[in-house]
Amino acid sequence: MNEILKLAQIGMTYVGRSGKRVNALNDVSLAVREDEFLTIIGPSGCGKSTLLKIFGKIVPATTGNIQFRCKTLTAPTSDIGICFQQPLLFPWHTVERNVLMPMEMLGRSIDKHRGEARDLIELVGLKGFEQSYPRELSGGMQQRVAIARALITDPPLLLMDEPFSALDAMTREELSLEILRIWQERKKTIIFVTHSIPEGVLLSDRLVIMATRPGRIDQIVDIDLPRPRTISMTSTPRFGHFSNLVRDRVQTLQRESK
Ligand code: ADP
Ligand code: MG
């Protein structure tokens, strides 16, 4: 199996303004497979966001090495798309312009990429809203814009840090199924951080459980439920088995970290 991303012994220590050191990650090694849907779950503060920022080269790791397609990753790359918890759109730009923003930042001609932007806006279900402004959209629609924007460079790897946590349960369920559809249609590798155990089980090929203080990988669970995944699967015994297994472990880790 080909690996798209390979982490070897990643460690991360933040040094605060007062000189206080926080050991956020310790000895994280992980091989992410080409085209897989990998979810990361773990207690608050275990370093999930830090890990994603290290993958995206937004912050440098203190120790260790990351390889992207067998080459050491040294700088942010348009081969890795990122979606954060908040959509972080430019309020004074239209939906289309927001989606084109990464192209603009790469110094590419945005006119050449308008067609792609419109296709992506349609892909995320926002056809007709190309010329709308973020304030005219609901939270779920804004998050869809952020997803389209992360896809504009057609990155083989998409990082998503709790992208649906600010949304209501219905929108969240709808968007997670949409992400699955996009993942299948566009053949991407997705690394997805969530707080929701059912969401993690429903989406993933593998689910990484992280422990805290210091942040580290506790175990990796293979979710061998059939694909395509559907909401009705969430009521099957096999789905219940995985959810219980992950929940028990996360609860134990939470108790131990107190
Ligand atoms: P998670 O996303 O799992 O909740 P984070 O990656 O945000 O965890 O944080 C991991 C640890 O690193 C926490 O203890 C947090 O307080 C600390 N941390 C995160 N960002 C910074 C920062 N910029 N400066 C100092 N400490 C930080
Ligand atoms: Mg976080």
Atom of ligand 1 nearest to the CA of 162: 2
Around Cβ 117, how many Cβ atoms within 10 Å?
23
Cβ neighbours of residue 223 under 8 Å, at least 6 residues apart? 201, 204, 205, 206, 207, 242
Domain limits for position 125: 89-154
Ligand that comes closest to the CA of residue 14: 1
Question: What is residue 240's predicted lDDT score, i.e. its pLDDT?
Answer: 97
pTM: 0.94
Q: Which atom of ligand 1 is nearest to the CA of 47?
A: 6
Taking the centre of ligand 1 as the mean of its atom positions, its distance from the CA of residue 13, in whole angstroms, is: 10
The pLDDT averaged over each successive group of 10 residues in the chain (258 residues) is 93 93 95 97 92 91 95 91 92 97 91 94 94 96 94 95 87 89 92 94 97 94 95 95 96 87
Whether 126 is in a domain gets the answer yes
Q: How many domains are contained in the chain?
A: 1
Give pLDDT, residue 140: 92
Atom of ligand 1 nearest to the CA of 161: 2
Binding-site residues, ligand 1, Cβ < 6 A: 14, 16, 22, 24, 44-50, 215
Q: What is the pLDDT of residue 94?
A: 98
**Cα of 25 from ligand 1 centre, angstroms:** 9
What spacing in Å lies between the alpha carbon of 209 and ligand 2's midpoint? 14
Quote the ligand 1 centre to 49 CA distance (angstroms): 7
> Looking at the domain assignment, is residue 35 inside a domain?
no
Q: Output the pLDDT for position 76.
A: 87
Report yes or no on 188 lying in a domain: no
Q: Is residue 136 part of a domain?
A: yes
Distance 61 CA to ligand 1 centre (A): 13
Residue 104 within any structural domain of the chain: yes
Tell me, what's the pLDDT at 174? 87
15 within domain boundaries: no
Write the single-letter amino acid at 78: S
Q: Which ligand is nearest to the CA of 210?
A: 1
Residue 183, domain member (yes or no): no
- CA 193 to ligand 1: nearest atom: 2
- Flag whether 110 is in a domain: yes
